[in-house]
Chains A and B, each alone.
Chain A
Amino acid sequence: MSKRSKREAEILLSLVNARYGDRVTAEELEEIQKGIDSILDSSEAMHIVKLENGDEPYQFFKPYGEEK
């Protein structure tokens, strides 16, 4: 994990702590940290691949109904 991601991981963990801190133990928070690290590792892996401006999400929105 890059230095930038490590810093981001700390910030994101504080967000989890703010949302759910009253429900988790310190040990569980450590495990959640690993989960965040894994999410950021995936993010880094995805950013290695170059995307062009026209590379749209592979999920199509279409207005409701059919044209008459």
Chain B
Amino acid sequence: MKSPIYTPISELSKQIKKGRISPVELTETFLNRLETIGSRLNAVVTLTRGLALKQARNAEKEIDEGIHRGPLHGIPWGAKDLLSTQGIPTTWGAEPFRTRIIDTDATVVKRLRDAGSILCAKLAMIEFAGGMGYRQPNASLTGPPRNPWNIDTWAGGSSSGSGAAVAAGLISFAIGSETWGSILSPANNCGVAGLRPTYGRVSRHGAMALCWTLDKIGPIAQTANDCGIILQAIAGPDSEDSTTIQRQWKYNPRPLKQRPHLAVLRGVVDDANQDVRDNFDNALKTIRGFADVEEIDLPYLPYEAITRTILNAEAASSFEDLVDSGLTQRLTAPEDHWGPYARSILLATDYIRAMRLRGKMVRTVTEVMKPFNALVAPSAKKPATPIWEEFRKVAPGTTKDVMGAIGNGCGLPAISVPDGFTSLGLPTGIQFMGNPYEENTILAIARAYQSMTNWYTRHPPDTEP
């Protein structure tokens, strides 16, 4: 039988339902891989072996008795370590919280448990999800998160372990979170699929708050189709999170009825790495086989300044007591000791101006995007950077990232899937960013692209089963 390690959830689920794959054996396989390969990659904070085996035995018993809860029943997963889990440490990637237990399950954890999924690990992340302004990969209590494609490069962040664990076949899927780039970055660097849902689609209850109006939780998996399956299990209203969208979301795995109409922002690849540009150009040629693609301009607004000001102000407030307490002096990255100080002086009037401009930004972007099913762009402007190298030498917010600014500032869904490799063998990604609430549209486009390419079928050589 084909190894289950890189098997997409849709296929794995069928095998489990038919009794051809045992959830207990599958879980043991992944636990062993997490323990051995995971520790080499610095991808795991806590292995939840006892809980996982208990959940796996329950799943196996239920399935044997003919009870099947759905496509995630018996499927192992890993949680970014900012999701609270009862009785298990939740570190937020930060050394001062190495043994801290928040004794409640996040809504996402509860929903996946109810779906019959098996929690195998709390996965590594950048300390405070990058909320202290880190500049280099070594900003996590578990060490610099290594990329399975080349362990001397970075897995991306801040959902670093989530990206690395899926790419290395240590787990079937993982949950990450994004405030600005934290799902798309590891998906890009590790060559996997990462879905950032519409703001409010997934409850943030029980997750660390970095920025209340920007934080989103979403899946990282082998394929776009898997991301849709997982999103259905975790999406939906939650009385514990007032920002959740009140309508239940259902995954539609069917193709779009009409040929998609996509747009590329003029100049979006101008400052990208050459390999990223080449792979993006090739991807567009493939995409033109099933979609119309048009180059467009966005009217001028200071997009990065607006979203960055919101992020700075909310992060300054959400971590104010923690920073004042001096606890940040014990963080792993030296720049995170003083990183949050600058934004403590941000004026309230600037935050409110940013929130007022956000209205203009939302209306402008929505109007521009209305005729299109999605914007297309590289997921990141460069592939994974060396593990000991600063990936930014300047203060956060000074680099250009219109897609990140409008996507996160307007709460738009986006999915990243691999679109090729660099000359050094590192994956690059392409993102499809949709109109609000249109996850099914971008998933359909990403699936169509994946059906015409085989990048997602390639796996890091040292981790092949």
Q: Does B49 contact A (CB under 8 A)?
A: no
Whether B338 and A20, one on each chain, are in contact in the complex, defined by CB atoms closer than 8 angstroms, is: yes
Which one, B288-296, B339-347, B376-384, is touching chain A?
A: B339-347
Whether B359 and A55, one on each chain, are in contact in the complex, defined by CB atoms closer than 8 angstroms, is: yes
Whether A39 and B312, one on each chain, are in contact in the complex, defined by CB atoms closer than 8 angstroms, is: yes
Whether B343 and A39, one on each chain, are in contact in the complex, defined by CB atoms closer than 8 angstroms, is: yes
Q: Does B395 contact A (CB under 8 A)?
A: yes
Which one, B93-101, B268-276, B349-357, is touching chain A?
A: B349-357
Q: Does B360 contact A (CB under 8 A)?
A: yes
Give Cα distance in the complex from A42 to B347, angstroms. 12
A residues 1-53 near B (Cβ < 8 Å) are 12, 15-16, 19-20, 23-24, 28, 31-32, 34-39, 41-43, 45-49, 51
Provided the pairs A23-B326, A23-B329 are in contact, do residues A51 and B353 lie with their beta carbons within 8 angstroms?
A: yes
User: How many A-B contacts if CB must be within 8 Å?
Assistant: 104
A28 contacts which chain B residues (CB < 8 A)?
Answer: 337-338
Provided the pairs A39-B312, A46-B302, A46-B309 are in contact, do residues A51 and B356 lie with their beta carbons within 8 angstroms?
A: yes
Give Cα distance in the complex from A65 to B375, angstroms. 38
Give Cα distance in the complex from A28 to B395, angstroms. 12
Whether B360 and A55, one on each chain, are in contact in the complex, defined by CB atoms closer than 8 angstroms, is: yes
Q: Does A66 contact B (CB under 8 A)?
A: no
Provided the pairs A46-B309, A59-B213 are in contact, do residues A32 and B302 lie with their beta carbons within 8 angstroms?
A: no
Whether B302 and A58, one on each chain, are in contact in the complex, defined by CB atoms closer than 8 angstroms, is: no
Q: Does B358 contact A (CB under 8 A)?
A: yes
B355 contacts which chain A residues (CB < 8 A)?
Answer: 57-59
Whether B397 and A57, one on each chain, are in contact in the complex, defined by CB atoms closer than 8 angstroms, is: no
B343 contacts which chain A residues (CB < 8 A)?
Answer: 35, 39
Give Cα distance in the complex from A35 to B358, angstroms. 22
Whether A36 and B342, one on each chain, are in contact in the complex, defined by CB atoms closer than 8 angstroms, is: yes
Within the complex, the shortest CB–CB distance from B36 to chain A, in Å, comes to 39
Whether B395 and A58, one on each chain, are in contact in the complex, defined by CB atoms closer than 8 angstroms, is: no
Q: Does A56 contact B (CB under 8 A)?
A: yes
Give Cα distance in the complex from A57 to B353, angstroms. 7
Within the complex, the shortest CB–CB distance from A34 to chain B, in Å, comes to 5
A41 contacts which chain B residues (CB < 8 A)?
Answer: 305, 398
B396 contacts which chain A residues (CB < 8 A)?
Answer: 38
Within the complex, the shortest CB–CB distance from B320 to chain A, in Å, comes to 11
Whether A46 and B335, one on each chain, are in contact in the complex, defined by CB atoms closer than 8 angstroms, is: no
Give Cα distance in the complex from A38 to B395, angstroms. 7
Interface size on B, residues (CB 8 A): 39
Whether B356 and A58, one on each chain, are in contact in the complex, defined by CB atoms closer than 8 angstroms, is: yes
Q: Does B394 contact A (CB under 8 A)?
A: yes
B residues 306-336 near A (Cβ < 8 Å) are 306, 308-309, 312, 326, 329, 335
Whether A32 and B350, one on each chain, are in contact in the complex, defined by CB atoms closer than 8 angstroms, is: no
Contact of A38 among B301, B306, B335, B397 (CB under 8 A): B397
| Closest B residue, CB atoms, query A62 | B242
Give Cα distance in the complex from A8 to B344, angstroms. 14
| Closest B residue, CB atoms, query A34 | B395
Q: Does B133 contact A (CB under 8 A)?
A: yes
Whether A57 and B358, one on each chain, are in contact in the complex, defined by CB atoms closer than 8 angstroms, is: yes
Give Cα distance in the complex from A57 to B309, angstroms. 13
A59 contacts which chain B residues (CB < 8 A)?
Answer: 213, 355, 358
Provided the pairs A23-B326, A42-B397, A55-B359 are in contact, do residues A49 and B344 lie with their beta carbons within 8 angstroms?
A: no
Give Cα distance in the complex from A51 to B350, angstroms. 13
Q: Does B362 contact A (CB under 8 A)?
A: yes
B342 contacts which chain A residues (CB < 8 A)?
Answer: 16, 32, 34-36, 38-39
| Closest B residue, CB atoms, query A57 | B355
Give Cα distance in the complex from A12 to B341, angstroms. 11
Whether B337 and A12, one on each chain, are in contact in the complex, defined by CB atoms closer than 8 angstroms, is: no
Give Cα distance in the complex from A51 to B329, angstroms. 40
B362 contacts which chain A residues (CB < 8 A)?
Answer: 58
Whether A58 and B358, one on each chain, are in contact in the complex, defined by CB atoms closer than 8 angstroms, is: yes
Give Cα distance in the complex from A6 to B285, angstroms. 48
B329 contacts which chain A residues (CB < 8 A)?
Answer: 23
B residues 407-448 near A (Cβ < 8 Å) are none
Give Cα distance in the complex from A7 to B358, angstroms. 28
A43 contacts which chain B residues (CB < 8 A)?
Answer: 305, 309, 347, 350, 353
7 A-B residue pairs with CB within 8 Å: A16-B342, A19-B341, A31-B335, A32-B341, A35-B343, A37-B395, A46-B305
A contact residues vs B (CB 8 Å cutoff): 12, 15-16, 19-20, 23-24, 28, 31-32, 34-39, 41-43, 45-49, 51, 55-59
In the A-B complex, the 4 residue pairs with the smallest Cβ-Cβ separation, listed nearest first, are A35-B342, A57-B355, A45-B302, A42-B305
